A and B are shown apart, each in its own frame.
Chain A
Amino acid sequence: MLEARLEQANLLKKVVDAIKDLVQDCNFDCNDSGIALQAMDNSHVALVSMMLKSDAFSPYRCDRNIALGINLGSLTKVLRAAQSDDTLTLKAEDAPDVVNLVFETSDSDRVSEYDIKLMDIDQEHLGIPETDYAATIAMPAAEFQRICRDLSALSESVSIECTKEGVKFSCQGDIGSGSVQLRSHSAVDKPEESIEIDLTEPVSLTFSLKYLVNFCKASGLSSQVKLCLSSEVPLLVEYGLQNNSYLRFYLAPKIGDEE
């Protein structure tokens, strides 16, 4: 039996919105520590990993490990029926055929209830080790989204170069080239606008912009985004959520052919 109540339906709405354009169907693995999700896109070069800790819910109850195989399109349709500040309750049996979602307005005057049929999804799980990255950049999510959007107008791929001067996003396309350079600075009064660069050694890697633009759909979830890079290792784009929950994206770097 699973029962998980979210104060704000908005959180799940945004999470699902952010990943539904990357994966179609995926398993929500529920256990007593929370709800986790791991899925790769069709071409297996990007991976999304979500963890909603049990603390993000109140109350949270999960007696047995349950995998809820859900079509994200269907989930989006149902979540559209919820207002942002509705409370959302997820319920499922131990060996479920459906997952049940209940939306309640904050004054509890309106209660709507939906069931989504589950599917059996055979997914391979990747074990992702803790990695010490050569460079970690924390920056405003909106800034990262803007850079990706602007550069994607010029080119398919962006090179991210991190040195002690700062971080430089640059691209070369048919119509010309462009680059954005950021230096670390801390805004005391507005911590969400500060840029922090933690560098152990300089790195330079190239990534597909289409994928990065796709990841940026999660920008609404968090004011800051963390980019972690090491050479020859997938880029980690992390949106931190409350209560140690997170939404992480991994993207394989482009190696060879360019430059």
Chain B
Amino acid sequence: MARTRSKPKAKATKESTPEPPTSNAKPLLPSTSNPPKLFVLPKDTSKDARIVTLDNPASGVPSRYYFCPDKGVHEFTRIAAPKKACRSWLITPEKSSGSNEEEEEGHDGTGIGSGYVTKAADLFVATPIDLMFLLLPVLAPKNAKETKQHFLALDDHLDNLSSSSRHWKVLLAQHPTLKAMIGKRMGTVCDTVDAGDETMYRLSHGKLLAMLLKKAERMCKNGLPQSMEEKFVKTALEVPVMNIKREESTLSVVSDTPSMPTEDSQVSVSTPSTSVESQLSTTTSMDSQTSTETAATSVSSTEEIVSKPALQTPPEVPHLLRLRTAFTYLLCSYVPQTLRPSLQELLKSSTTPSFTLLDMHLSAIAKLRAEAMALRSISDNISRKRVLEEDEEKMAEREEKKRKKEEDEKKKKTESRGIKQLKKADTSGMKKLSAFFAKAPKKG
């Protein structure tokens, strides 16, 4: 409200009562080059806690971490409002001790003065990260070729660490407890040998894999985040719906095809002792939608065959897929690139848990999809109008085209008379205005 310009017109001010006068307008200060940022930091950290720059284990890019000698290392996640939604933070110093429930208002208002409005509504949240991940870059071989790894004493590893980053050096020097912490975490992913009174460490891929799987297990215990679940689990496990309508005898060739490959897929999938069944004749609840759809299109007495989810998802498959998704996520975001291929290999051959069932199921689905695709191209030729259920992508594309066309037509219709008249104007010899005026830089 404060920025309203009320014009000193007697009549206007009389009517616009809701606007407060802005006589006390102060000139705004220029924006600072280093605006305050908002952090959500863990509670009760020691006063030695600080923000440090360490190499990101996955990418090797220097990144900011929050280090507390008592609570360990935290990584920062930036939470930002979507670009279209314009949001700002209003930061004010705490007025009374009672009003500090809003954490984003900052832990201390010093230096903020009477308040500050940040331009971007970014919020940085510190969440704990296992120290082990930060150690991985020094434990991992420097390049893929170097396969032979030696046992090294803890101090040698620490030397490597401090030579990799200046901040590590400072941290190690300042906090003697850190060394013990590192040693403990290293023990969880390394093979150790005792040489005299010293313990030597070497990265063990098996141990690392077990550790990652444990973390992945924990990650999917409460369900994956929705977007992840949607993208990697739900869509991956979608079984194409085979829905072919028999209209006349000429089409029988087509309608026969789906049943045959379904049998095929049954053979390939049923090897493990699971409840994979192919359903040739049963109609489950899932296809009620499809059958109504076909019913709507077929007015005449046509016989229809609905061969339904050709494949049923075994109960343990979603969990396995979730686990693997979580594992892949951990691998991509926290594990150095050099370690990834060997860990993937190891995971494939691991027996606890075994992913063979999942792989088989996925390949069966892929096969079904390919068949559905092939089938569709045939049925597309027969009747363009009928679009199969799983054809959503193509359907959307077509709809988009249609919509565009309609829009253009509509636009033409709504064109005013003047514009139509101008189209007839003879513009020969007239240059476009962009030949005279330069294009202005685009405003955000």
**Contact surface of A with B, Cβ cutoff 8 Å:** 3, 5, 7, 20-24, 29, 32, 40-47, 54-55, 57-61, 63-65, 71-73, 76, 94-95, 124-129, 156-157, 206, 208, 210-211, 214, 217, 233-234, 250, 252-258
Contacts and interface: CB of A to CB of B under 8 A. Distances in A.
A214 B423 contact: no
B443 A125 contact: yes
Interface residues of B, number: 45
Nearest to A46: B433
A233 B422 contact: no
A21 B430 contact: no
Given A20-B418, A252-B433, A126 B3 contact: no
Nearest to B12: A58
B138 to A, nearest CB: 47
> Closest 4 interchain pairs by CB?
A21-B418, A127-B440, A210-B425, A58-B7
Given A47-B433, A234-B436, A64 B3 contact: no
Max chain B Cβ within 10 angstroms of own Cβ: one of A22, A128, A252, A257: A252
B425 A59 contact: no
Instruction: Tell me the interface secondary structure of chain B in the complex.
Output: loop
Contacts of A58: 6-7, 9, 12-13, 16
B434 to A, nearest CB: 6
Contact of A59 (B7, B417, B427, B440): B7
Interface string B419-444: 10111111111111111111111110
B6 A59 contact: yes
Contacts of A23: 419
Interface string B11-30: 11100100100000000000
Interface of B: 1, 3-7, 9, 11-13, 16, 19, 84-86, 411, 414-419, 421-443
Instruction: Tell me the interface secondary structure of chain A in the complex.
Output: loop
Given A5-B12, A208-B426, 9 more contacts: A7-B11, A20-B418, A24-B419, A57-B7, A60-B7, A61-B3, A208-B425, A210-B425, A211-B422
Given A45-B427, A156-B425, A257-B428, A126 B438 contact: yes
Nearest to A253: B430
Max chain B Cβ within 10 angstroms of own Cβ: one of A47, A71, A217: A47
B416 A45 contact: no
A95 B86 contact: yes
A24 B433 contact: no
Given A7-B12, A40-B433, A258-B429, A61 B86 contact: no
B411 A254 contact: no
Given A44-B434, A156-B426, A208-B425, A21 B416 contact: yes
B238 to A, nearest CB: 32
A141 B416 CA distance: 23
Contact of B437 (A46, A63, A126): A126
B429 A256 contact: yes
Nearest to A29: B443
B414 A43 contact: no
A41 B439 contact: no
A21 B417 contact: yes
Contacts of A5: 12, 16
17 contacts: A3-B4, A22-B419, A24-B416, A40-B433, A43-B432, A59-B4, A59-B19, A65-B443, A71-B414, A125-B442, A127-B440, A156-B425, A208-B425, A211-B425, A217-B418, A234-B433, A252-B430
